[in-house]
Amino acid sequence: MRQMSLTPELVALCHREEIDPGPSGEWTQLSDDDFGALATRLADEADEGPLWVFAYGSLIWKPAFESVEQQRASAHGWHRSFCLDLVRWRGSAEQPGLMMALERGGRCDGVIYRLPDDDKTAQIERLLRREIDDHESVASVRWVPVRTAQGRVRALGFWVGVTGRGT
């Protein structure tokens, strides 16, 4: 099996610590109620079967959630791209950082993680709190069809189909 090219060691070479100035007034922050409602909606949209999460970047080496299974997967029709400018966390207004997202076209290889069957809503909320923090980013959370050696599955993806300026 081919090894993935993106490794924690490669990421460490380009990691830059920036002081987070906090959210700007341009973004509408999600409240606890907003996170809960979004997690409930996504859990309701999930199929009756297992809940899968598609990881193609930092969720691979730092998942921040419990999983009971993982498989290699490919999202056809999407490709990985450093297409989001960040002025928080990895960047600043003076020197924006870049964040990976999925753009249309091509194929993105990654990993799908199966979440435990119990308390899917809480698992999804934990993921949401890690991945997004404002209403403007909600549209980047979507269900993505992926292919595995065992067949096709539907997985929850983050930062899918957005480019430009991130939070």
d(CA 131, CA 161): 15
Q: Which two tokens stand for residue 44?
A: 């309701």
Q: What are phi and psi of 35, to 5 degrees?
A: -60, -45
Evaluate whether 161 touches 86 at the Cβ level (below 8 Å): no
Task: Decide if 48 is catalytic.
Answer: no
Please tell me which residue in 18, 103, 131, 136 is annotated as part of the active site. 131
Q: What are phi and psi of 53, to 5 degrees?
A: -120, 130
Supply the residues annotated as catalytic: 131
